[in-house]
Amino acid sequence: MSTTLPERTEIGTEIACSAEPPHRTELPRICPAPRVPLVTGESVPYANLDLAASAPPLQAVADHVAELLPYYSSVHRGAGYCSQVSTSVLERARDTVGRFLGARTDDVVVFTRNTTDALNLLARAVPGVVLSLDSEHHANLLPWLTGPHRVLTAAPTIAQTLENLRAALAADPVALVTVAGAGNVTGELLPLAEIADIAHAAGARLAVDAAQLAPHRRIDIAATGIDYLALSGHKLYAPYGTGVLIGRRDWLDAAAPHLAGGGAVRAVTVTGDEAAAGWAPSPQRHEGGTPNVLGAAALAQACRALDPVIDHDAPAHEQALLERLLDGLATVPGVRPLRTWADSTERVGVVAFTVDHHPAGRVAAYLSAEHGIGVRDGKFCAHPLVDRLTGADEGAVRASIGIGTTADDIDRLLTALRGLTKRGARWDYEVVEGRWAPSPDPRDLDPLGLGEARPGATPGAPACA
């Protein structure tokens, strides 16, 4: 692949290419994908185009976790050697993640379960009204419902959306503005530094849902003016169950503990029939219970592995594949890619689309069953936006790419879509417990030998699938 690599630019601005490409660094390797069975009897290497939902682990992450496992022990209060090693790994991970994301020296790095958990934590700490866009993922929409909040409808252009944001803040100030750095439906980027300036000028702080941005672009919290940032390890090639909230200390130290329990306190006393706690400052204040040491270590190792390539090589690799995908989709009859803003100029490797006369769920089932391709279908936990963009109850199909994606993966998807629109599927499909599935489905869906889930145990897909 030959492409000119971009110089590092401010997040949300158009990439300006340099005349001379900088030195290339080899992209980190992904753990090998399995071969998967098709309904027709063959098996093929899995083409994972669902990285926006969960990315596979980097090989370096899997190796790091395996190396750490013999030392795994409880942290912070253990005198044993393994406890001390595990404590050091956890706190070093906190520093590593903060540096990778450009945190200020006095920012707090709190480990959480995922982005949703991190934003729910922040929601309990905001001392006032929160303003979000209606185009947000549910993780950056639903947590704010527990307190005073307002929702601003995303305009047809970014320019008009920002103008409306200025007007909304001038008319009725808020404590926090919150946006996604990259949309999980269309992959389009917002100008975060400009939004930070708008929020700060109105006396508000800015929170960024970076779940879809961090795997694709360098983030510099301090330079961009972000006050709080949340992300998930499972989207950043570290699927071991950890997320993070990074941000200013004052709100977090004043908030009630996110999870009351051991480790979150300095002292506990009982007087008569009442107990009282002296809570620790952040981050311990919000990390009650035994933390996910392996998850934190995995997230930190992913940051170390991505750091040499996240400025140039990874974005260049993904941009070439994104252009290949968009150019190819333009040649498939009846395929319509979705777009939120007419004036957006930059996006990460996330593309949602509809196919005329083919329900999104049936398309996804066909791609899996007949071609071994994994995509996402539905409304992607962004109901208001997808409803507006599609007007269809079933939503859309989403293909998402990353550093492990190949040109062959893209071409296999395009070939499969052309076959579907020209000749139709070779197999029958029906809705089973709320999801489209092959009928019959001869594939072995229990390759690990654990026993298949009992019928009715998972009654249909969640509404935001």
Whether residue 239 is found in the same domain as residue 263: yes
Domain that holds residue 199: 61-306
Residue 90 domain-assigned (yes or no): yes
Residues found in the chain: 465
**Among residues 240, 272, 306, which one ends one of the domains?**
306
Beta bridge partners of 45: 35
State the pLDDT confidence band at 4, using cuts at 50, 70 and 90: very low
How many Cβ atoms are within 10 Å of 87's Cβ, its own excluded?
18
Residue 203 domain-assigned (yes or no): yes
How far apart, in whole angstroms, are the C-alpha atoms of residue 235 and residue 214? Answer: 8
How far apart, in whole angstroms, are the C-alpha atoms of residue 70 and residue 51? Answer: 30
Whether residue 90 is found in the same domain as residue 154: yes
Asked if the model's pLDDT at residue 441 lies above 60, the reply is yes
State the pLDDT confidence band at 18, using cuts at 50, 70 and 90: very low
Whether residue 268 is found in the same domain as residue 340: no
Owner of token pair 């006369």: 357
* CATH, residue 222: 3.40.640.10
Residue 25: per-residue pLDDT: 77
| Rounded mean pLDDT, 164-169 | 98
Residue 386 domain-assigned (yes or no): yes
Whether residue 152 is found in the same domain as residue 274: yes
| Rounded mean pLDDT, 18-35 | 75
Name 269's Cβ contacts closer than 8 Å, sequence gap at least 6: 275, 276
Task: Identify whether the C-beta of residue 161 lies closer than 8 Å to the C-beta of residue 169.
Answer: no
Whether residue 91 is found in the same domain as residue 48: no
State the pLDDT confidence band at 3, using cuts at 50, 70 and 90: very low
Active site residues: 381
Asked if the model's pLDDT at residue 153 lies above 70, the reply is yes
State the pLDDT confidence band at 394, using cuts at 50, 70 and 90: confident
Whether residue 287 is found in the same domain as residue 314: no
**Among residues 306, 337, 356, which one ends one of the domains?**
306
Angle 38-43-46 from CA coordinates, rounded to 5°: 90
Whether residue 264 is found in the same domain as residue 323: no
Instruction: State what percent of residues in the chain have pLDDT above 90.
Output: 90
Domain count, the chain: 2
Instruction: Dump pLDDT digits (tens) for 273-291.
Output: 999 999 999 999 999 999 9
| Residue of 392, 315, 404 whose CA lies nearest to 352 | 392
Whether residue 204 is found in the same domain as residue 78: yes
* CATH, residue 339: 3.90.1150.10
Instruction: Dump pLDDT digits (tens) for 169-192.
Output: 999 999 999 999 999 999 999 999
Residue 226 domain-assigned (yes or no): yes
Residue 289 domain-assigned (yes or no): yes
Residue 463: per-residue pLDDT: 59
| Rounded mean pLDDT, 89-107 | 98
Q: 442 φ, ψ to 5°?
A: -85, 0
Residue 448 domain-assigned (yes or no): no
Instruction: State what percent of residues in the chain have pLDDT above 70.
Output: 92
Residue 464: per-residue pLDDT: 64
Residue 22: per-residue pLDDT: 45
Whether residue 196 is found in the same domain as residue 343: no
| Rounded mean pLDDT, 305-328 | 98
Asked if the model's pLDDT at residue 432 lies above 80, the reply is yes
Name 133's Cβ contacts closer than 8 Å, sequence gap at least 6: 151, 152, 153, 154, 161, 179, 180
Residue 12: per-residue pLDDT: 38
Residue 456 domain-assigned (yes or no): no
Residue 28 domain-assigned (yes or no): no
Range name among 16-20, 100-104, 402-406, 422-426 with the lowest pLDDT average: 16-20
pTM over 0.75: yes
Residue 453: per-residue pLDDT: 75
How far apart, in whole angstroms, are the C-alpha atoms of residue 49 and residue 186? Answer: 14
Whether residue 157 is found in the same domain as residue 295: yes
Asked if the model's pLDDT at residue 17 lies above 60, the reply is no
State the pLDDT confidence band at 317, using cuts at 50, 70 and 90: very high
Whether residue 42 is found in the same domain as residue 108: no
Whether residue 104 is found in the same domain as residue 236: yes
How far apart, in whole angstroms, are the C-alpha atoms of residue 8 and residue 71? Answer: 38
Alpha helices in 186-291 (DSSP H): 192-201, 221-224, 249-254
State the pLDDT confidence band at 452, using cuts at 50, 70 and 90: confident
| Rounded mean pLDDT, 313-330 | 98
| Rounded mean pLDDT, 9-32 | 58
Instruction: Dump pLDDT digits (tens) for 232-274.
Output: 999 999 999 999 999 999 999 999 999 999 999 999 999 999 9
**Among residues 306, 339, 362, which one ends one of the domains?**
306
How far apart, in whole angstroms, are the C-alpha atoms of residue 189 and residue 14? Answer: 10
Beta bridge partners of 113: none
| Rounded mean pLDDT, 434-454 | 92
